[in-house]
Structure 1
Amino acid sequence: MKRISVSVAALAIVALAVAWYLRRGDAQTTSYRTEQVTRGDLLFTIRATGTVQPEEVINVGAQVAGQILYFGKDANGKTVDYGSPVEAETVLAKIDDSIYSAEEAQAQAQVQSAHAAVQRAEADLEQLKAKLNQAERDWQRAQKLGPSEALAQSTYDAYRSAYETALASVAVGRAAILQAKASLAQAEAVLRRAQRNLGYCTIKSPVKGVIIDRRVNIGQTVVASLNAPSLFLIAKDLKRMQVWVAVNEADIGKIRPGLPVTFTIDAFPGETFRGEVGKVRLNASMTQNVVTYTVEIVTDNSNGRLLPYLTANVQFELDRRANALMVPNAVLRWRPSPEQVLPEAREAFERSAGRKEKPGGVSGSPSGSGAGSAATGNRAVLWIQEGNFVKPIRVQQGLSDGNHTEVQGEGLTEGMRIVAGVQTRSNSNQDVATNPFTPKFPPRAGSAKQK
């Protein structure tokens, strides 16, 4: 009996030892991952993407059809090409004018013929006037004699008819002159049109600027129809550029003329350009049920680094805080479990939480989407470590740029460490960082613990 009691006691000791070992293997100590309260400038922006555009672009086209014979010379004496600087009235290209020269010569001949017709009509009128004078004198003599034995009735009637005919002929002559002058005016109009078409064969620059696009080649035939074919695209002043940005309708109410803007260009990494909002266009566009408005940003390009049609990553500076206390948004999202809260504050924590959120969940703080937030005055809770527990500090949220948020609160100082998450350390000395959004599953029944 004594031997059995000793055996039972030994088995109990072994069981306790095994249980202690297993508990020791499962034992973990909890440590907190913290972030530091910093002080700096905070900027609330709206981000969008746009395209660099010349401030004023002139599309030079052709108003006549024909073959391109040659290109002109730019301000440097070189053949007009991409990037060529040109002055106003510089010849850009020449279109074959053989047909239009012939039409102009034909119109010149028609004008000369019309001039001759006017002169002939005037000469005919003078001749008719002379016949009228002769008929008028004959008629006056016939009236003095009257129908008598000296002047037969038929002769009397003939003088009268001749006078009336001469009078009507003069009126016809005057009308012929008017008709000849009208034909002359028509011929001159045709001549002016022919000369204008002949002049259109010489393509000239309407302004001083830089050619940013040449759309024809020598030997190519351009055909003018309802829409004039585009030959050259000229930027009037590349020292003043614009950025055209498509802004979502949800953000357009925050954009106003004069708003400061910063933007970056992928072609110049690490360099930031500045500008301001010039205007907001009212002709909105809809793409896949998304309404956007085009915002024009004016920027200086005196150094000529900005090239037309570069892609710009734009930030509209809606608000700014200088020398503000701020924390990463991650510390505003983290919430402890009740067991991690300092015992003195645990009851108030559970009561304020109301069990609306799960431990380790999101507390409704800024999302960190990168778009920023202009909302200020929202209350939030930060957690600082005190021993193995965390203690709350109540703060007021201010401006947010999507990564950091301005905070103000009693006892909050620069350099203070704020809890942002939990790190678990097992006896195997292996750190495991826990993500509050990772789902936790219960252990499977009968599963063996791996050593």
Structure 2
Amino acid sequence: MASATRAGHRWLKWVGFLCVLCAIAFAVVWYARNANGNEPALNTVAVSRGDIQNLVSATGVLEPSNYVDVGAQVSGQLELIHVRVGQPVSTGDLLAEIDPTVYVAKVDATRAQLKNQQAQLADRKAQLRLAEIQFQRQQNLWREDATTRESLQTSEASLASARAQLAMLEAQIEQTSSTLRAEEANLGYARIYAPMDGTVVSIEARQGQTLNASQTAPLLMRIANLSTMRVRAQVSEADVGKLQAGMRVYFTTLGDAEHKLYGELQYIEPTPEVTNNVVLYNALFTVDNQEGRLLPQMTAQVFFIQEEALDVLRVPVSAVARNQVKVLDAKGQPQIRAIETGISNRVYVEVRSGLNEGDQVVLANRDPRAGQGESRAAFRGMLR
């Protein structure tokens, strides 16, 4: 029994020894091949043509470039609303009506008062004419010593009084006429018209609601011009110094991330918004929206173009070291070549000279043979 156990142990040792020999043979062959000059495959990429941009990114929101809040200038019950949200309107279109009963009554009363004063005016003019005739008669009699001085003075005073009463009544008529114009204006304000071309984007009041315009004008609705939208982008204080009015900018929306819409930065608001100790500045620009695809409050991913080179030769940043690249020659061997570079970003470098479109350049990567010494040492330790 003991001899059988010892024979089994010897057999296991021989099997282990043979495995170690096979492993050593494989390692020798592998190392010999690499030592004989078989280089690892190179990671290359073709020189391409395209755009390079240095961008400052920000998040923004879309808003109408121009809008007006329509309010009520008179108090009363909102009788009718003639529009709905999303409806396009033109200047002068009837939007809503307030119950005009009270204002019609005021206009009628003021007009009646004015007619009464105009009738009084005709009477005053007749009395003035009579006073002028009587005074003229007294003057003629006085020249012929046919009347007394007292009678002449009385007629003269009557004439002056008639003239004063006429002037006073004319002033009252002017006042009443002014009041009538105001009452007619208030009656007109009971019908509310669109002050501009645009789209009804919100309605704040409800039909049948009682409006009180004694202190502030109640807000009825908002009309906005959606044919041109404004983007309000919030830029961090670290990036705002890179922006300047007139620079090109584009943005995408969450619903259409592939469609770029371009504009031009108009101005930066000097007063920042501070949220949770984060300082953000509003940068604004407008964009055409004739197709109506952009709507208020949409989120925009904004990119300010700090510098750009369009349709130029470019290579990945990882292929360039000190304005030099490795280019594969006709035999597929890498050759060092000096190039002239332009602008760059985190991805590409512009190539102004030294390369042609389609040239294969070597990307900087970790040599696959790196660390082989450590692996061999570990393998030798395992054999021990």
Give the alignment's TM-score, normalised by structure 2. Answer: 0.71
1:411-426 paired onto structure 2 within 5 Å: 414-421=359-366
Q: Please report how far the alpha carbon of residue 107 of structure 1 lies from its aligned counterpart in structure 2 after TM superposition.
A: 1.6
Q: Is the 8 A contact 2:85 2:202 kept in 1?
A: yes
Aligned to 2:251: 263
TM superposition shift of 1:111: 1.2
Question: Quick one: which of 321, 332, 343 aligns to 1:399?
Answer: 343
- Give the letter aligned to residue 420 of structure 1: N
Following superposition, the deviation at residue 186 of structure 1 comes to 0.7
> SS in structure 2 opposite 1:420?
coil
The question of 1:281 aligning with 2:267 is answered yes
Superimposed CA distance per residue, residues 113-134 of structure 1 (whole angstroms, 9 cap, x where no aligned partner): 2212312221221332343245
Following the alignment from structure 1 to structure 2, what is the Cα–Cα distance between the partners of residues 33 and 106?
99
Q: For residue 193 of structure 1, give the secondary structure of its aligned residue in structure 2.
A: helix
Q: CA deviation at 1:170?
A: 0.5
Structure 1 Cα separation of the partners of residues 155 and 232 of structure 2: 78
Output the CA distance in 1 between the equivalents of 2:149 and 2:355: 129
Counterpart CA distance in 1 for 2:165 and 2:262 is 70
Please state how far the C-alpha of 1:196 moved relative to its aligned partner. 0.3
Tell me how far apart the structure 2 counterparts of residues 65 and 125 of structure 1 sit (CA, whole Å).
45
Specify every segment of 5 or more residues in structure 2 that has no aligned partner in the other structure, as ranges: 1-19, 329-333, 376-381
Quickly say closer, same or farther: Cα 1:32–1:420, change in 2 above 3 A. Answer: farther
Within the alignment, does 1:68 sit opposite 2:69 as a pair? no
| Mapped pair 1:320 → 2:306 | no
> Which amino acid in 2 is paired with 1:99?
V
The reply on whether 1:292 has 2:281 as its aligned counterpart is: yes
Does the CA-based 8 Å contact 1:383-1:419 persist in structure 2? no
Contact 1:261 1:314 in 2 (8 A): yes
Gapped regions of structure 1 (runs ≥ 5): 1-16, 73-79, 145-155, 334-378, 430-448
**1:206 paired residue number:** 195
Q: Partner of 1:224: helix, strand, or coil? A: coil
Backbone CA RMSD of aligned residues: 3.8
- Alignment match, 2:121: 118
Whichever residue aligns with residue 218 of structure 1, its letter is Q
Q: Output the amino acid matched with 1:121.
A: R
* 2:43 is the alignment partner of 1:43: no
Paired residue type of 2:110:
A
Distance 1:115 1:124 in 2: 14
Quote the residue 1:5 is aligned against.
none
2:106 matched residue in structure 1? 103
> Paired residues, what number?
329
Identity %: 24
Deviations 1:81-127 (A, max 9, x none): 11112233221111122322222222212212221231222122133
1:137-194 C-alpha deviation (Å, 9 max, x unpaired): 55344x26xxxxxxxxxxx7xx211211211220221121111111101101100000
Q: Is the aligned partner of 1:188 residue 2:198? A: no
Separation in 2 of the partners of 1:64 and 1:268?
A: 45
Q: Could you tell me which of 206, 218, 226 is aligned with 1:229?
A: 218
Alignment of 1:32-181 (within 5 A): 34=43, 36=45, 38-44=47-53, 45-72=55-82, 80-141=83-144, 143=145, 159-181=148-170
Deviations 1:397-435 (A, max 9, x none): 432233333356757973322123466677999xxxxxx
Per-residue CA deviations over 1:278-304 (Å, capped at 9, x if unaligned) read x623642223484735331332x3332
CA deviation after TM superposition for structure 1 residue 305, in Å: 1.8
- Asked if structure 2 preserves the Cα contact closer than 8 Å seen for 1:31 and 1:425, the reply is no
